[in-house]
Amino acid sequence: MHPKHPGWRRIGAGALLAACFAAQHAAAANPTVQAWVTTGDRARLLAHEADTRFDAAAAGAPTAGPSIDIDPAKSYQQMAGFGAAITDATGWLVQQKMAPAQRDALLRELFGRQGEGIGLSFTRLTIGASDFSRAHYTFDDVPRGQQDPALARFSLDPQRATVLPTVKAALAINPQLKVMASPWSAPAWMKSGDSLVKGSLKPDAYDAFARYLSRYVGDMKKEGVPIFALTLQNEPHFEPDDYPGMRVEPAQRAAFIGGHLGPRLAADHPGTLLFDWDHNWDEPESPAIVLSDPKAARFVSGIAWHCYAGDVRAQGRLHDRFPDKDTWFTECSGGGWATDWAKNLMYFTRTLVIDTTRNWARGVLFWNLALDEKDGPFLGGCKNCRGVVTIDSRSGAVTRNVEYYALAHASRFVLPGARRVESHSADKDLANVAFRNPDGSLALLVANAADGERAFSVRVGGQAFRYRLPASSVATFTWRASD
């Protein structure tokens, strides 16, 4: 109130200043909550809803629904980020099938922050070909029957026009982007069967394969792409019959890591982490064997998991056995086998974002970042997998798939370096996870898996706010404790 306002004299200057201070204190004690919602019927897609506020009265008032209780003082793992893999298919589509303006707009939307994008901060590269490649190759291929123990023919050229410019552009947009990488196969000359398809790593090739992986890290660094972490093999218990793969049993992985790859990385690239497993939830004893080997365990910083078999709680159980090792979720794909958009939204948000992080994942990766209108290009393997986005190979137009929204509800609001904090609800339909960002803001992700709308309250200390979330829908709430 201005001193010339009539009320100034009636109230008195001292009383008015006290009233103003009280109003400001009330605003600070009742933070503004912003909400973004995606509904299962697609009527709202990451829509910014009306703000609400915490209120001390709401915390003590009876409610018609359950509550989600948050304790920001109790924290867990530190987050690296959320994202998807830049496969050969993704790199080829982005670089070869999009006009420069389309390419720049998409990459800024995916990796940018500050209002221009969803802030993906974690990605995975393939060290050589996967099934989502236009040819089967490694970075050191020689004619059948020949060998190259000196790695004289090693070259990143097969990805120079596709994956490399894509990941470099993403890093330019988001320098915090963490890049991990996984091979689908060692070069054929290192394997039993002398083929990229099937077979196992020959023991006399352990040293050469360790040098091959170290060479990859070094050459990528020279290209301006720091490799944050490696796994020694994608899905080491699976030998596909029509694309590169390699079976590596846990005893072999332990011997290779402890005697070759671990010491090699420590000497050549001490900042690059090593994850074991990179496979499904249904065989937790396999990584447990590696972690129980003292020589190997000293070099393994974490365990990487996929979604295609088993239960997400395997992550938490293994973490309880080996609490000094980090947990990472590194692959899951949607596809034509599941066509219900609302159910997919629940699965990708509830199981793959909320449950993986509640079971200690520091990073969450989906599979292909982008595929085309025919679910490719691919050569063998999955013929109806879906990308996070679809790029029309004829026009370059982009379609955002359900995976995009599941990732965005976390990646846009949970910043690198955030800590997961305690959150709990007695209602099993209200899956939730909460984080405190490095800037002090908080983010709460809630998925309502019920068949109907859910009314609930969110309580932090002596304050709460109330909200109604439609059936099969997702919301992210953000606020500053000192707002």
For the chain, the C-alpha Rg in angstroms (whole number) is 25
Which domains does the chain carry?
Answer: 33-77+421-480 (2.60.40.1180), 80-413 (3.20.20.80)
What is the model's pTM? 0.93
The mean pLDDT of 314-334, rounded to a whole number, is 98
The pLDDT assigned to 145 comes to: 93
User: Residues near 274 by Cβ (< 8 Å), separated by ≥ 6?
Assistant: 229, 230, 231, 232, 257, 261, 262, 265, 299, 300, 301
% pLDDT > 70, the chain: 92
Confidence of residue 65 (pLDDT cuts 50, 70, 90): confident
What 258-261 contacts at long range (C-beta under 8 Å, 24+ apart), as own/partner pairs, is 258/293, 258/295, 258/296, 258/298, 258/299, 259/206, 259/295, 260/206, 260/207, 260/209, 260/210, 261/209, 261/210, 261/213, 261/214, 261/230, 261/232, 261/299
User: Residues near 48 by Cβ (< 8 Å), separated by ≥ 6?
Assistant: 34, 35, 36
The pLDDT assigned to 63 comes to: 59
Cβ(411)–Cβ(112) below 8 Å: no
Confidence of residue 58 (pLDDT cuts 50, 70, 90): low
Q: Is the pLDDT of residue 107 over 70?
A: yes
The pLDDT assigned to 25 comes to: 39
Degrees (nearest 5) of the Cα angle 470, 472, 476?
70
d(CA 256, CA 253): 5
Q: Is the pLDDT of residue 7 over 50?
A: no
The mean pLDDT of 54-62, rounded to a whole number, is 71
DSSP bridge partners of 303: 276, 327
